[in-house]
A = this chain, B = another copy of it.
Amino acid sequence: MASARNLRELGLAQAARLIAAGDITSEALVTACLERVAAREPQVQAWSFIDPELALRQARECDASPNRGLLHGVPIAVKDVLDTYDMPTEMGSPIYAGARPMLDAACVALARTAGAVIMGKTVTCEFAGMAPGATTNPHDPTRTPGGSSSGSGAAVADFMAPLAFGTQTGGSVLRPAAFCGVIGYKPTFGMFNRAGMKFAAESIDTIGLIARELEDMALVTAALTGSAFVAPSLPARPLRVGLCRTYLWPKAEPSARAALERAAAAARSAGADVREFELPAQFSRLTQTREIFNNVERARSLAFEWAHHREKISPALSRSVELGLATPDAEYRDAMRFAEACRIEADAIFCDFDMLLCPSANGEAPVGLHYAGDPSFQGLWTLLHVPTLSLPAGKGESAMPVGVQLIAPRYADKALLDAAYWLITQAGVTATMA
């Protein structure tokens, strides 16, 4: 019989295989996760809503029914900007305290259709923005877990759930994954349907995944896109890796720089063709351009809340809305055109490279809970709509996790996962590398 610890440390795909084989039950798995929540939630505060009975009821229903699909019986945590018909969706905002949507977000409904247990809702920064909730970093409670998918990162890293949905408008999936020492995956823009997601900036909002095991990304992708599960596999040819420090390099702290060099050296040693790659000069405008999208589109998508509940919106978000309202529409259209042009140019980069290797974030998770970290290193890629993945790549100066970021061209999500698989299994890019 598997121990609770063994159960809660299972990856999602591995757990699904064991349930399908009858080796473990969904109830035992969910119970093990709930025990971890009970033990650690007072410190980690990853959940905005969790009802053990509701989670267990779903698990028992799975155990009593024939296999429903790829995710039969496995628990998934859901960032609280994604609607759930049976749990509140509060979006990190007092405006939505206790709010109950009529239906599930598409990704939640598709996961349930594939058999998943929706375990609970994870803490989000206010409207997936910059104002954090109470979640702490599982590796050090004095530090931020990152955001805005704060609870998703912390819950997965702390073995409360094997996988969580997040959303990324700047760096809201990859940064908490990097800060918490797990894997974050932002698919190509548009690949996971966004119905039932509260928009931050709809031109760039992307639903992503946080998990401890790479294959789990492929499994959930299969469930959400109606595809067969194809596990990540080794690329047929040696990888051509662009070592891309980006124009943000001056922001990279020693921990981030060391992690990038470590991963690049490991890739080179394992046979990859690693060459320095410098982004086109005009890409340095991407950070500022993303801010325009973020402010203008937030101001528009929050028009109702701004009109009716302005006093309940945080100063940080109010500032973003005000900036958005003050931005001339012509500037926004120019930003749209510029982003389009850069996306096309980004496609061309991948004639020479299979993937780019970049810092995941500025460095380790900062001390303090009032700032979820700088989204710059993640945000430029979000604007480009390319798929990105953050892999743990050892520890930093304070023994906190540090990640490296992999980038592939739009729609080449499978190639991205395969490249990551190679980096983990062949080059040894892992949380414990030194």
Name the interface residues of A221-241: CB closer than 8 Å to any CB of B. Answer: 224-227
Contact A106 B303, CB 8 Å, known A190-B202, A337-B411, A411-B336: yes
Of the candidates B203, B327, B411, which one forms a contact with A190 in the assembled complex, judged by CB atoms under 8 Å apart?
A: B203
The proximity string for A residues 183-214 relative to B, scoring 1 for CB distances below 8 Å and 0 otherwise, is 00000001101111011001100000000000
Residues of chain B within 8 A of A224, CB atoms compared: 300
The 7 A-B residue pairs with the shortest CB-CB distance in the complex, in nearest-first order: A109-B303, A195-B301, A193-B300, A109-B304, A225-B329, A103-B304, A227-B329
Q: Give Cα A109 to B299, complex, Å.
A: 11
Tell yes or no: A139 within 8 A of B by CB.
no
Q: Which residues of A contact B (CB under 8 A)?
A: 85, 96, 99, 102-104, 106, 108-110, 112-113, 190-191, 193-196, 198-199, 202-203, 224-227, 297, 299-308, 325, 327-330, 332-333, 336-337, 340, 344, 410-411
Would A102 and B103 count as touching, CB distance under 8 A? no
B193 touches A202 (CB 8 A): yes
**Which residue of B has the minimal Cβ distance to A198?**
B195
Q: Which residues of B contact A327 (CB under 8 A)?
A: 226
Closest B residue by C-beta to A195: B301
Give the distance in Å from the alpha carbon of A113 to the alpha carbon of B202 in the complex: 21
A112-B112 Cα distance, complex, nearest whole Å = 37
Is the Cβ of A297 less than 8 Å from the Cβ of B193?
A: yes
Measured CA separation A369–B308 after assembly (Å): 40
* A92 to B: closest C-beta gap in Å: 16
**Chain B residues closer than 8 Å to A96, beta-carbon distance:** 102
Q: Would A411 and B194 count as touching, CB distance under 8 A?
A: no
- Contact at A333–B411, with CB atoms within 8 Å? yes
CB distance from A158 to the nearest CB of B (A): 29
Determine whether the beta carbon of A85 is less than 8 Å from that of B304. yes
Chain B's closest residue to A411 (CB) is: B333
Most chain B CB inside 10 Å of its own CB: which residue of A99, A195, A302, A307? A195
Most chain B CB within a 10 A radius of its CB, from A301, A305, A325 = A301
- Name the residue among A102, A224, A410 with the largest chain B CB count within 10 angstroms: A102
Q: List 17 A-B contacts (CB under 8 A).
A: A99-B102, A104-B304, A106-B300, A106-B301, A108-B304, A112-B307, A113-B306, A190-B202, A190-B336, A191-B333, A193-B199, A193-B202, A193-B301, A195-B303, A226-B325, A227-B330, A337-B410
